[in-house]
Amino acid sequence: MLIKRANDLRDHDVTDYALYQKRREFLKLLGGATLLSTSSPSRAGLFSNDNNDEITPFSDASSYNNFYEFGSSKSDPKRFAQSLKIKPWSVTVDGACAKAGTYNLEDLLGPQTIEERIYRLRCVEGWSMVIPWNGFPLANLLKRFEPSSKAKFVRFETLSDPAQMPQLKDELLPWPYVEGLRMDEAMHPLTLIATGMYGKHLPKQNGAPLRLVVPWKYGFKSIKSIVRISFVEQAPRTIWQKVAADEYGFYANVNPAVSHKRWSQKKERRLGEFFKRDTQAFNGYAEQVASLYKGMDLRVNF
């Protein structure tokens, strides 16, 4: 990889990365081509690079996963998610918007320009990684559906197909996997739809063909393999709230000052490191996102 360091992305650094500007190239990508080649344009200077996080090796990021539809141990998703059929793929858009409908993946992604964003991912369980995602701002997608003023939240749903997802036959979790964001969080420039990582297609275990990435929130908000996007008036009840609302709040902003009911969130273990490091407020993205929560008690809205 050309980039060795993680960046702290600022709004003005959200530069369109011209990897796949031509639609034809993009369609090639959908057809199975590898994204980055050694002839890719240099990425130097596109992002601020003021922190020293090392990028997590691809082999770790693609083999140590949470994707409970395929099992509850970290190695299960890589092993069992290969049965996921990602072609054809469609996403149903409904609720408070003018352009509701069922869209096939190519139509959804075709107009988007893919950028690279290097983000920290902090799991609520206390581990973290640094991942170079390939994707585009969720806002660019949502705007196309012309949400109305009634759209206060966005609800996301993962595919739930017991024929492809072995754990759906068990009652491990109240399927389908559902997550949600407030509209302003969804439209924030840091909020990404990822279609790839490390310059490759998104591995199935990481949520192919499209997943959410919200870097200032605990990883469970970053819902995988999305099949439905709904514009709603009320905060959707998420899968983890159904499991334990007192442990997994709707906001789930990374916050070392608010412990999980059963463990502290002050520290985290970066994959591959021995010593724990301090967890940062909003996972280090406070400068960009803290204003979204002005006046809110983050102990109550955890």
Torsion angle of alpha carbons 79, 121, 247, 240, nearest 10°? -50
Could you say whether residue 253 binds ligand MTE (CB under 6 A)? no
Position among 36, 49, 56, 69 found at the interface with ligand MTE (CB under 6 A): 69
- Cα separation of 172 and 167, whole Å? 7
- Contact status: 133 vs ligand MTE (CB under 6 A): no
**Rounded Cα gap, residues 45 and 135, in angstroms:** 19
Closest contact distance (angstroms) between CB of 6 and ligand MTE is 15
Query: Residue 78: enclosing H or E segment and its boundaries?
Result: helix 76-80
CB of 302 to ligand MTE, least distance (A): 16
The whole-angstrom separation of Cα 253 and Cα 263 is 16
- Contact flag: residue 158 with ligand MTE (CB under 6 A): yes
On whether the CB atoms of residues 263 and 250 are closer than 8 A, the answer is no
Among 199, 219, 236, 249, binds ligand MTE (CB under 6 A): 219
250 binds ligand MTE (CB under 6 A): no
Binding of residue 66 to ligand MTE (CB under 6 A): yes
Least distance CB 26 / ligand MTE (angstroms): 23
Residues 282, 255: Cα–Cα separation, whole Å: 6
**Is 121 or 141 the residue whose CB approaches ligand MTE more closely?**
121
Is 89 a residue that touches ligand MTE (CB under 6 A)?
no
For ligand MTE, the closer of residues 43 and 204 by Cβ is 204
Q: Which of 206, 238, 265, 288 binds ligand MTE (CB under 6 A)?
A: 206
Going by DSSP bridges, is the β-strand pair 115-122/267-270 parallel, antiparallel, or unpaired? unpaired
Residue 170 contacts residue 192 (beta carbons within 8 Å): no
Residue 67 interacting with ligand MTE (CB under 6 A): yes
Written as one letter, the residue type at 174 is P
Residues ≥6 apart with Cβ < 8 Å to 248: 124, 220, 238, 240, 241
Under rule CB under 6 A, residue 230 binds ligand MTE: no
Which residue is closest to ligand MTE by CB?
A: 219
| Least distance in angstroms from the C-beta of 84 to ligand MTE | 11
Distance of alpha carbon 288 from alpha carbon 188, whole angstroms: 9
Closer to ligand MTE by Cβ: residue 223 or 289: 223
* Binding status of residue 103 toward ligand MTE by CB under 6 A: no
Asked whether 34 and 20 are in contact (CB, 8 A), the reply is no
- 1 vs 18, beta carbon nearer ligand MTE: 1
Rule CB under 6 A: choose which of 68, 175, 250, 302 binds ligand MTE.
68
Q: 80, 136, 220, 231: which one contacts ligand MTE (CB under 6 A)?
A: 220
Compute the least distance from the CB of residue 69 to ligand MTE, in Å: 6
Q: Between vectors from CA 107 to CA 104 and to CA 109, what angle results, nearest 5°? A: 105
Respond yes or no on whether the N-terminal peptide bond of residue 166 is cis (omega within 30° of 0).
Answer: no
Q: Which is nearer to ligand MTE, 16 or 247 (CB)?
A: 247
Q: Rounded to whole angstroms, how far apart are CA atoms 213 and 108?
A: 17
DSSP 4: -
Residues that bind ligand MTE (CB under 6 A): 65-69, 121, 123, 158, 177, 206, 219-220, 222-225
